[in-house]
Amino acid sequence: MLDDFFMRALIAGSGVALAAGPLGCFIVWRRMAYFGDTISHSALLGVALGFLADINLVLAVFAVAGLVAVGLMVMQRANTLSSDAILGILSHSTLAIGLVIVAFMTWLRIDLMAYLFGDILAVTTQDIAIIYGGGAAALAVLALIWTRLLADTVSFDVARAEGLRPEAARFIFMLLVAAVVALTMKVVGILLITALLIIPGAAARNFATTPETMAVIAAGIGVVGVVGGLHGSLYLDTPAGPTIVVAALLLFLASLGVRGLTQWRASRVAEDHHAV
């Protein structure tokens, strides 16, 4: 029989995967992996400012991540630097500033490892409620902007010509990613949340035939990765957060193998048909 803390970890991790999977699909489609890293790195600055101002850490992280998203859009419009250069500056600067602020707060003991790599086994029922409530809200908003965001992903100019306001959809999506990072940092950590946003979506891409199917499969792969990673952590006595990411990686590699085998069989069938 599994302990209560382990069951809470399973439930919380599954909630994170369900919320991160569909969002991660757009990150994969739009090639925004570096943006995910930037938002997650900025979370440490939010944690530091939250402790400094004595406010809710989730709200502090969301506020900082939201400001980073605004800064990114403003600098992209200025068109003075490439997007990857801007993301690099924002990512490393916010992470460094956060670490410096934490170092100055000598009166406060902060377990940086828990925030960087997560502490999923320490989640509470309140954390679970926040994860599922916030995750459901994020997915509801994603569903509302799904068509506009998908059109923007295919062609920004076409989406704008059709009056779909792609800029607004893009900004809302950035805020959704920021919200998910803020809600889930306690589970897998600031440095690992990007993996749960990207890897399930990348794996689902090898199976899906439609965007909607890919979102559902990505959420499912994320849940399987969480369950497998937690059980692996239990039996191998390894850190839970990193083990979850390793499990997700193994699922991605398996998806590549299945895709390669499917393509090989399809080519063999085509060759046999051509020979006949």
Read off the pLDDT of residues 127-158 as tens digits, 9 standing for 90 and up.
899 999 999 999 999 999 998 888 888 877 77
d(CA 114, CA 156): 39
Q: What is the pLDDT of residues 187-206, one digit of tens each?
A: 888 878 888 899 999 999 98
pLDDT digits (tens, 9 = 90+) for 216-247: 999 999 999 999 999 999 999 998 888 999 99
- Would you say 40 and 159 are in contact if contact means Cβ atoms under 8 Å apart? no
CA distance linking residue 14 with residue 226, whole number of Å: 6
Contact 191, 241 (CB under 8 A): no
Domain ranges of the chain: 4-191
Question: Is residue 145 within 8 Å of residue 30, measured between CB atoms?
Answer: no
Q: Decide which of 2.60.40.420, 3.40.50.1220, 1.20.120.160, 1.10.3470.10 is the CATH code for 4-191.
A: 1.10.3470.10
Higher pLDDT, 74 or 276: 74
pLDDT in tens, 82-99: 878 888 888 889 989 988
